[in-house]
């Protein structure tokens, strides 16, 4: 799920063009839709997980199509991206670089450390590492907006980390998890290209060619992500019922630690590197929130359904924690302004 803040007219422009006004209206509508979606998203994901646990046959029926669901999610993300989202890399390279390095440097290592600390079984350890090696979560941009962070920077970080995923995710998984389970980095990279890179680039191209048409469907795109990730969760949980019963509590603890440490360390690394408050909040959110749909799909296809369990639980938890973090950051910003 991705959010764009509403575009405001330039102060030097008395009468915005009709196309500019239409784009602004579309983005404002998308923003409202995204805020509603991210609010109910955790409840829908939790409902999907409960349904899959008690009706596993239904989940197994759709399990072969998880890569298609993920591709649809990524295509929808691509439709929301514009050239200015990437132009920020040239204008503000340092905060983008800090965010990407923190994303791919902190979370995989935290994941491995937490898994070893809790002595997770091998399949679950690999699953936690894979979550940490995934790019930024697609709902992080909405959380950044609600947190009064730098939404444009969040969009750019998510976009760049997603485009780097075919290279970095398999390499990190091979490096950190390869000694625990065999990792075919080449096959994993090809899967990410097919499920992530091609759909995202396809969405960007369609947005460039059919911008006005895409503006009309922008409000529906957050719900496409909600539906797609819900289906992925149903497929993953339905194949992991035994693992949930035997290790659900310890996996939840691992996910909470992984996610929380990502928020905390991401924020303070940005502050130590002299980034402003809004950029530091953005880095915190981007580091802590992962593309768990991708991690779950890769784990289920490359390893076992049990290996996908951490990603399934992460998908539920990081949206709950992200909403709570947004409330904290927003209240903190309001208090700071009132004290000023």
Q: Where are the domains of the chain?
A: 24-334
Percentage of the residues of the chain whose pLDDT score is greater than 90: 28
- The model carries a pTM of 0.79
For position 334, what pLDDT does the model report?
A: 57
Residue 139, helix vs strand vs coil: coil
pLDDT along the chain (340 residues), means of 10: 40 43 55 60 80 87 86 85 80 91 93 95 92 87 81 87 91 84 83 88 89 82 80 82 81 95 95 93 94 86 84 85 84 58
Q: Residue 134's closest CA among 103, 101, 102, 97?
A: 103
Tens digits of per-residue pLDDT, 264-281?
A: 999 999 999 999 999 999
With b for 16 or more beta-carbon neighbours within 10 A and e for fewer, the 79-105 pattern comes to bbbbeebbebbeeeeebbebbbebbbe
Q: For residue 148, how many C-alpha atoms fall within 13 Å in the half-sphere facing its CB?
A: 13
Specify the CATH class of 24-334 in words: mainly alpha
CA distance 42 to 80: 22
Residue 290, helix vs strand vs coil: strand
Identify whether the C-beta of residue 89 lies closer than 8 Å to the C-beta of residue 96: yes
Q: Tell me the DSSP string of 295-328.
A: HHHHHHHHS-GGGGHHHHHHHHHHHHHHHHHHHH
């Amino acid at each position: 799920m991705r959010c764009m803040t509403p575009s405001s007219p330039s102060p030097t422009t008395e009468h915005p063009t009709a196309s500019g006004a239409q784009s602004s209206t579309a983005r404002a509508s998308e923003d409202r839709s995204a805020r509603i979606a991210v609010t109910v998203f955790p409840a829908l994901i939790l409902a999907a997980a409960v349904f899959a646990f008690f009706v596993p046959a239904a989940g197994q029926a759709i399990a072969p199509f998880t890569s298609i669901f993920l591709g649809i999610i990524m295509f929808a993300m691509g439709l929301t991206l514009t050239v200015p989202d990437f132009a920020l890399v040239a204008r503000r390279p340092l905060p983008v670089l800090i965010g990407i390095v923190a994303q791919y440097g902190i979370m995989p290592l935290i994941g491995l450390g937490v898994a070893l600390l809790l002595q997770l079984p091998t399949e679950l350890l690999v699953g936690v590492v894979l979550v940490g090696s995934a790019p930024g979560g697609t709902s992080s941009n909405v959380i950044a907006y609600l947190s009064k962070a730098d939404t444009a920077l969040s969009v750019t970080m998510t976009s760049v980390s997603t485009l780097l995923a075919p290279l970095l995710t398999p390499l990190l998984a091979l490096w950190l998890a390869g000694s625990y389970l065999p990792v075919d980095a080449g096959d994993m990279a090809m899967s990410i290209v097919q499920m992530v890179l091609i759909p995202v680039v396809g969405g960007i191209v369609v947005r460039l060619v059919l911008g006005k048409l895409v503006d009309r469907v922008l409000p529906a795109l957050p719900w496409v992500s909600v539906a797609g990730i819900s289906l992925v969760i149903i497929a993953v949980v339905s194949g992991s019922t035994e693992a949930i019963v035997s290790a659900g509590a310890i996996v939840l603890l691992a996910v909470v630690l992984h996610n929380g440490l990502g928020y905390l360390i991401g924020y303070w690394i940005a502050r130590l590197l002299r980034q402003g408050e809004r950029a530091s909040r953005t880095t915190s959110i981007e580091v802590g929130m992962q593309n768990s749909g991708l991690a779950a799909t890769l784990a289920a296809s490359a390893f076992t359904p049990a290996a996908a369990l951490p990603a399934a639980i992460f998908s539920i938890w990081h949206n709950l924690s992200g909403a709570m973090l947004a409330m904290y950051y927003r209240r903190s910003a309001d208090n700071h302004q009132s004290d000023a």
